[in-house]
Amino acid sequence: MNELITVVVNGLSVGSMYALLALGLAMVFAILGLVNFAHGELIAVTGYSMYFLAFTGMPFIIIVMFAVICAIVAAVLMERIAFRPIRNATIAAGLMTSFALEMILEAGWSNFISPLRMPIRVPAWMIKFWPIGDSGISTYQAIAIILTVVTVIGLTLFLKRTTIGLAIRAAAENFSVTQLMGIRANMVVATAFAISGLLAGLVGFLWIAQRGSVDPHIGLNPTIKAFIAVIFGGVGSLSGAVTGGIILGFLEVALRTYLPDSVLPFREAIGYLVVILVLLRWPDGLISIRQKTD
Amino acid sequence: MMLTLEKMSVNYGPIKAVRNIDISVAAGEIVTLLGPNGAGKSSTLKAIMGLHPAASGRVLFEGQPITGMATEKIVRLGMTLTPEGRHIFSGLTVEENLKLGAASQKDRIQVEETRERVFTLFPILKERLTQNAGTLSGGEQQQLAIARSLMSAPRLLLLDEPSLGLAPQIVDQIFSLIADLRQKGLTILLVEQNAEMSLEISDRGYVFSNGQIELEGSRDALRSSKDIASTYLGMEKHSHHE
């Protein structure tokens, strides 16, 4: 029972982070058909912003807020500088550009800041552990879960209630027809990138609160997971990205907890095997299962 | 002139889809572009709206050059396109589709008035407001597509194949609606496969062939032209049943 609570808490908090990252990736992909490999670098931007802002001596929460704003600005700049010039080019051009951007930024962190891990002081209350029976939950895990729920609800309202939100959903269906509505294409794309930056910034904060450090490769692993979550959930579907992220988080934590020690080193491979098996059965991802049962 | 095309050409890669065409549409007119599939009619409309750039030539809207202008700006000037195949936003509700149609409009009171006018033209849409647009029938989707265009309060409406894939009875409704819109003061540039019906409601027409304009004239001149009767009208009837 206690083990189950641990799995649920860990699965939800890890899955929440994958879900937020996947959501940003899925939104940009749905509108532009762009697979943004540089998305994970927004986590690095958040981390390094937190690292440098810490020298100002501001309270942790203020530092986090500024760092998330830095991630949003970085996402918008990414679009403006790297992706807008190739917007009407082929999908391959988009892939190459985002790969290049990812490599340039990663090399940039290494060469201009440090190739080493930089410690980031996280206040004690963030990592405080709240026992529940023999198990429990730490503050940052609770924050991760609450933040994800609030963000997903907020984003859903934004996409349903505001004109620009409607335009993002419309552009995900058909970009040129959205322009025929007299809606500024650049505005829609920039907003989608800003949202993806916000989500990546929140994940960056949660990830770093857990690790207590930042390094040039910090974005890579969670972004790979988020890509898998997007495909797992159903490419192009926002709710699929969230579902995919949370299931992937659970899968990872459950395997880590329940697998016997002898096969534990293979847990990632086993996790991906499950994903591959699901995709073999339902090639369009989890979303196609839901649509069939509708 | 409401709309003037001067020696406009459109290329798709190496393919010259439209070559050196001159077209004009006066305020209050319905003008039809006729011709077989692939003759360059839809390419012409897309180029006018800036969805695909014109390779050369000029486009003037109410005397103002709009060649190379962004689509969203052209819409804000007062001209829009209801695209071929309708392309309503199927994951959005009817209400949301209409709201997006009015996204370029600032004056809320005017938007509300336009909305009421659209509902008198398309009462069925008022009943379907909260429904996902993807669940509408083909005829209802075409009505929504036109209604959505009207929400931007255009003075000139480009209609690309509004009768495509619709049952004959619905086609009649759509054509009488187009005639009705003109009565209410809207200028219309129409692309249609159904030459007979579109000429009936039009003032003038242009006949496309291989990216060029082969023939132009008033409705009656085009209708009585033997060439049109035998080649285009005859051919259209066949292709319509494909």
Backbone dihedral angles phi then psi of residue A163, each to the nearest 5 degrees: -65, -40
Complex ipTM > 0.85? yes
Nearest alpha carbon to residue B18 among B62, B67, B57, B76: B57
Residues A179, B51: C-beta atoms closer than 8 Å: yes
The string of pLDDT tens digits covering residues A225-258 is: 999 999 888 877 888 899 999 999 999 999 988 8
Name the minimum distance, in Å, from the CA of A181 to any CA of chain B: 5
Residues with pLDDT less than 70, chain A: 1, 288-294
Residues A180, B51: C-beta atoms closer than 8 Å: yes
For B76, the closest of A167, A173, A182 (CB atoms) is A182
Three-state DSSP class for residue B135: helix
The string of pLDDT tens digits covering residues B197-217 is: 999 999 999 999 999 999 999
- What stretch of H or E contains B19? strand B15-25
**Sorting pLDDT into bands at 50, 70 and 90, what band is B242?**
very low
Residues B80, A182: C-beta atoms closer than 8 Å: yes
Q: Between β-strands B79-82 and B212-218, what pairing exists: parallel, antiparallel or unpaired?
A: unpaired
Q: Map tokens 């049952």 to a residue.
A: B167
Q: Which of B75, B100, B132, B146 is the best mutation test for A, with the most CBs of A within 10 A?
A: B100
For A181, the closest of B51, B90, B100 (CB atoms) is B100
pLDDT of residue A5: 85
Cβ–Cβ pairs < 8 A, chains A and B: 67
How far the first Cα of chain A sits from its last, in Å, is 34
Residues B148, A184: C-beta atoms closer than 8 Å: no
Name the minimum distance, in Å, from the CA of B67 to any CA of chain A: 16
Residues A167, B103: C-beta atoms closer than 8 Å: yes
Considering the entire predicted model, what is its pTM?
Answer: 0.88
The string of pLDDT tens digits covering residues A8-24 is: 999 999 999 999 999 99
Mean pLDDT in residue range B38-52: 94
Q: Which of B12, B51, B71, B74 is the best mutation test for A, with the most CBs of A within 10 A?
A: B71
C-alpha B63/C-alpha B3 separation (Å) is 8
Q: Between β-strands A118-119 and B156-160, what pairing exists: parallel, antiparallel or unpaired?
A: unpaired
The string of pLDDT tens digits covering residues A250-280 is: 999 999 888 888 888 888 888 888 888 888 8
Instruction: Give CA angle at B39 (B35, B40), nearest 5°.
Output: 115
Residues B75, A174: C-beta atoms closer than 8 Å: no
Mean pLDDT in residue range B210-229: 85
From chain B, the residues in CB contact with A166 under 8 A are: 92, 96, 99-100, 103
The string of pLDDT tens digits covering residues B76-107 is: 999 999 999 889 999 999 999 999 999 999 99
Residues B152, A174: C-beta atoms closer than 8 Å: no
